[in-house]
Amino acid sequence: MSTDSQQNIHHLPVLEFKSSTFSVPVLVLASNDIITIEQQLQEKIRLAPEFFKNSPLVFDLQELNSLDLDIDVASLTNMIRKLGLLPIGIRGGVAQQNQQALELGIPTHSGHSARDGAHAASQSGTGVASTAATSGSKKQQAPKPEADPEPQTVTASTVLLTQPVRSGQRIYAAGDLIILAQVSAGAEILAEGNIHVYGSLRGRALAGVQGNTEARIFCSDLQAELISIAGNYKISEDLNGAVLNQPVQIYLQNHTLVIKDI
């Protein structure tokens, strides 16, 4: 086995970068008293020892900093590690706290997190607005938190829209994207997972944008300008009359897009 893989080593890529979303517990602090934090944390751990054992953890210092309470990141980290948790990120920290965290090998993250983005996007048909709002907010140097080698739960958030997606709007979903209205010509919808459109699909729909070849597009009326799954695409001109204006599903088979009625 080892010889095989050595022979192939020059031909086959052995690594690949992918982007994923993980669900990680976030510790929001409202006090800078390390001893009290430790006591209360111990109580929590006692209630569910298995859950917290070796669990990754992100510190959220935003509230603390808004109350003007400083905290020593080094002692906080030591205490957390002592309790068996593995800090993998800090967010909402001020420059000095971020610096301290980086010295301890803990990545920093800007205050406004994916939570805000996913929240805003799923509430209303305002993908454009939510992107703008997130990027326009507090800008700090923000290397993304390292993905834990063994994430406990991998949950990508599903985005549900009930309003039409209008020309010029762009909606991105880290998981599945479900739209209960039409998607206008000139609109663009992207999802890392599947796309469902329960209305006319006239814009561009791209599923599996991070390379998921299993992703599918479902729509109740296909009039799309472009459809794509994991980078394999067809433009409107390539769609034949038999599938146009029909309820269809689109999936990938041997690197070819298959459009089938449903």
Partner 1 sequence: MARIIVVTSGKGGVGKTTTSAAIAMGLAKKGHKTAVIDFDVGLRNLDLIMGCERRVVYDFVNVINGEATLNQALIRDKNCNQLYILPASQTRDKDALTQEGVGKILDELKKEFKYIVCDSPAGIEKGAHLAMYFADDAFIVTNPEVSSVRDSDRMLGILSSKSRRAEQSEEPIKEYLLLSRYSPDRVKLGEMLSVDDVQEILSLHLLGVIPESKSVLNASNSGTPVILDEKSDAGQAYADIVARYLGEDRPHRFIDEKKGLFGKLFGGR
Binding site for partner 1 (CB under 8 A): 123-129, 132-133, 163-169, 181-182, 184-187, 199-200, 202
* Least distance CB 199 / partner 1 (angstroms): 8
What values do phi and psi take at 79, rounded to 5?
A: -65, -45
Greatest distance between any 2 Cα atoms in the chain: 70
Judged by CB, which is closer to partner 1: 132, or 258? 132
CB of 163 to partner 1, least distance (A): 6
Answer whether 225's CB lies under 8 Å from 206's CB: no
Q: Is 178 helix (H, G, I), strand (E, B) or coil?
A: strand
Taking the complex as a whole, the smallest distance from the CB of residue 165 to partner 1 amounts, in Å, to: 8
> Measured at the alpha carbon of residue 177, what is the angle toward residues 194 and 207, in degrees to the nearest 5?
40
Among residues 124 and 152, whose Cβ is nearest to partner 1?
124
- What SS3 state is found at 189? strand
Task: CB nearer to partner 1: give 59 or 172.
Answer: 172
Residues 113-122 as b or e (16 or more Cβ within 10 Å = b): beeebbebbb
In the complex, what is the shortest distance from the CB of residue 112 to partner 1, in angstroms, rounded to a whole number?
A: 15
Nearer to partner 1 by Cβ, of 159 and 187: the residue is 187
CA distance 111 to 63: 10
Closest to partner 1 by CB, 98 vs 134, is 134
Tell me the closest approach of the beta carbon of residue 128 to partner 1, in angstroms.
4
